[in-house]
Amino acid sequence: MKNTCKLFVVVLLVVCLLSGVSAFATEKNKDSGEILDDLAVEALVEVVISENNRSLGPNAFLNNGAQADEGVSILSDQYEIINGYRYQKGHCVKTRGQVNAPALKACEVLSEDVISGIYDSMHEDFPNVIILGEPTTSYNCHSYAWYNSTIYNDYWIASIESFVNDVHTVPVEPEGKTVGNIAVYINANGAPLHSAIIIDTNGDQVICESKWGAGVLCQHEIGDVPEEYMATNTQCWILYYDLTPHDYGYLSHGNATHTKTCTICPYSETESCNLTYPYIGDSMHNIFCTECDYGISGAYCAYSYQADANGTHKKICTLRDHYQVTENCTYQYVSNGYGSHTRTCTVCDESTTVGCDLVYTSCRSKSSHGNMR
């Protein structure tokens, strides 16, 4: 917990010094207006003024468990209480750069009454917010923004220090923020109060998607958040970050598999090649991986056959589905007796029972043919 606060304080102190402004953390007599003046000149901090100074109240379950004193108490080395609910310690998740980050798992769920109360408060206090997911103790804003942006997330993350320090995390200046960036709401000490993912930017309006503590997952304007996430009653101080994607190099194993390894971090994975099959004629094609250097020149097509039920079948290359030709079936016949037989294609296995094409020859037998001669 303390390390997270120290990290953000160090970041803000360095920027203040570079800007020629003394660090606000050492000036204990400053009021909020003076702090705002200092933050306004920071290269990496944006102040968002909210027109909706609202709160979900004391039962909002908005605390994330990292920096706040209220709602958090240590029961033992195994459990932690956040917002009145018990969480199991000792879990971890991977950052994009494959660094272990501490995480918690919920041991309790919200009651129906609590969930109903949260919905009522949302509809009353935040009418412009779009609810995307139900209240749950399973995951919080930091986990959703930094680790797993789905409703199937099972981890609560109290500290984002490992994610902020990750090799894939890049600070973004406020004027450069864009869709996909993560907005981190901080207090005067630089401690993170909330994390949100930017999903749309339209002029001065920035739309985010975030999980509100144990409350709802929702879509909201960047300043339209509970006052618990504001540095003051009306102002959000926000840092922005970009998570850079993996930059892969590929090593072929010569058997249509390769290992991809990130050039930025230690992430590595062996997988099947992404093959393409350009046809070169005469029932042959080349085989190439679109990512690594695996390739075969002049490979013969491997065919499957699809019956057309009209005496023909399609011959389809199983490696290159859009290459196909139509051929006549080749039959073998098995007599069923009594003037019929079954014909089966030796290639596509189409099978049909038909009447025999009979040929009559005279046997000159009265017993067999009466008066026939």
Domain shared by 278 and 132, yes or no: no
Give the mean model confidence (pLDDT) for residues 246-255.
96
Using DSSP bridges, classify how beta strands 268-272 and 217-221 pair: parallel, antiparallel or unpaired.
Answer: unpaired
The residue assigned the tokens 């207090």 is 187
Residue 171 included in any domain: yes
Regarding pTM above 0.95, the answer is no
Tell me 361's DSSP state. Answer: -
How many of the other CB atoms lie within 10 Å of CB of 125? 15
Domain shared by 333 and 269, yes or no: no
- Asked if residue 61 lies in contact with residue 213, where contact means CB atoms within 8 angstroms, the answer is yes
Domain shared by 310 and 165, yes or no: no
Note down the domain range covering 262: 248-300
Give the mean model confidence (pLDDT) for residues 336-344.
84
- What the block records as the tokens of 265 is 């971090």
Q: How confident is the model at residue 75 (pLDDT cuts 50, 70, 90)?
A: low
Please give the tally of structural domains in the chain.
Answer: 3
| Three-class SS state of 192 | strand
Does residue 299 carry a pLDDT above 80?
A: yes
Give the mean model confidence (pLDDT) for residues 361-373.
49
* Closest to 151 in 3D by CA, of 163, 134, 173, 166: 134
Q: How confident is the model at residue 16 (pLDDT cuts 50, 70, 90)?
A: very low
Domain shared by 227 and 114, yes or no: yes
